[in-house]
């Protein structure tokens, strides 16, 4: 008996379909209220729950704050929509490499952690300064 085809369903995709936010130029889920300062998880159900209208396009507009603050220069400045692939938004290899360099330089620990694009997002700034 053959195995069923594995289908991936990223949490960010579920969130955009539920109308919670959009994918920013930093390739993170961005919400109006908290920017990318959210942790998400997904639960698939057929329960009759109400949700917002799906979000199909970025609301980042001309903003490039995250792109300009990326120390890896890994963000391409691409406006997301449902047809855009992750590779069109961010060079993941450059991002992880720079994250490891920064973390090792500051702590001696090899770990991929940076957060500049997260912290500089204007939507996160609104939430964090309230």
Q: Tell me, yes or no, whether 2 lies in a domain.
A: no
Residue 58: CB atoms within 10 A of its CB come to 20
Range of the domain at 116: 11-128
Mean pLDDT of 55-83: 96
The size of the chain, in residues, is 130
pLDDT at 35: 92
Q: Tell me, yes or no, whether 70 lies in a domain.
A: yes
What is the pTM assigned to this prediction? Answer: 0.85
What does the DSSP 8-state code read for residue 108?
S
pLDDT in tens, 4-57: 787 788 899 999 999 999 999 999 999 999 999 999 999 888 999 888 999 999
For 99, the token pair is 């994250």
How many domains are contained in the chain? Answer: 1
Q: Tell me, yes or no, whether 78 lies in a domain.
A: yes
Q: Tell me, yes or no, whether 107 lies in a domain.
A: yes
Q: Tell me, yes or no, whether 83 lies in a domain.
A: yes
Those residues whose C-beta lies under 8 Å from the C-beta of residue 97, and which sit 6 or more positions away, are 72
Q: Tell me, yes or no, whether 6 lies in a domain.
A: no
For the chain, what is the mean pLDDT? 91
Under the banding of pLDDT at 50, 70 and 90, the label for residue 128 is low
- How far is 125 from 116, CA to CA, in rounded Å? 12
């Amino acid at each position: 008996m053959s195995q069923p085809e594995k289908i991936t369903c990223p949490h960010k995709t579920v969130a955009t379909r539920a109308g919670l936010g959009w994918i920013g130029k930093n390739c993170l889920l961005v919400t109006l209220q908290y920017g990318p300062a959210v942790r998400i998880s997904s639960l698939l159900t057929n329960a009759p729950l109400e949700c917002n209208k799906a979000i199909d396009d970025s609301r980042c507009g001309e903003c490039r704050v995250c792109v300009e603050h990326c120390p890896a220069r890994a963000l391409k400045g691409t406006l997301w929509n449902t047809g855009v692939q992750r590779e069109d938004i961010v060079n993941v290899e450059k991002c992880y490499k720079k994250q490891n360099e920064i973390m090792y330089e500051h702590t001696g620990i090899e770990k991929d952690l940076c957060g500049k694009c997260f912290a500089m997002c204007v939507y996160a700034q609104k939430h964090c300064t309230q």
